[in-house]
Structure 1
Amino acid sequence: MRIALIAHDKKKDDMVEFIVKNKKAFENEELFATGTTGKLIQEATGLKVHRFLSGPYGGDQQIGGLVAQGDIDMVIFLRDPLTAQPHEPDVTALLRICDVHSVPLATNLGTAELFLKSLRDKIF
């Protein structure tokens, strides 16, 4: 499974903690991430993560391109709903492209946990 991992600044610690806690479930998956999020995950887990630019510099759009091409199977994007993002149009475009292509998208830890359960059960 090809999984994209993205987290806004105030959610990066949550993302890293989630991946560390569930490292075993992600070991056999192909991971993609925006720059800083991917770096933090790699450092904390040793997992191989294909990294793109940071979100504000086009990383969200790069991942969106892969979604549109059918090269991403699932997106976990921990968003910070309480902080305005300077690249909000890019975020909205990524959410939209996931909807257009019916790619599962988790935007919070509750939904990410459900995705993780499906990975363990190999539902996807």
Structure 2
Amino acid sequence: MRAPRSSLAARLAGGRRREAPARPDLLRPGRFLLVAGENGHDWCEAAAELAGTWPLDVVRVGHLDGDLLDPRSTWTRHRGHDPEGAVLVRPDRFIAWRAQKATDATARLSQALRSLLGQ
């Protein structure tokens, strides 16, 4: 399944918002993108911890709170997880892995990346 395209509003300093680029622009060449729900703080911490080892970026997306806002709930309807969950998107925009909850986030994310990269 490919990550859906949606228009998101980026949350800027001072509470100002702007329209962010569609999801493919968030994916940097050769890097995975972990997209956490609005309550996915544990996933963001896990991704930050693993980013030195793996080609990994992270963004938190939510209807009311997050690095990127989804005011129309387009991503929220398609993400397939709770607000505490996350999806891992491959560099080719295919969803490679999904987690409902952030229980043991660092170990689970590391295992998913090792599996995807054949290590």
TM bin (shorter chain)? 0.3 to 0.5
Higher-helix-fraction structure: 1
TM-score (norm 1): 0.37
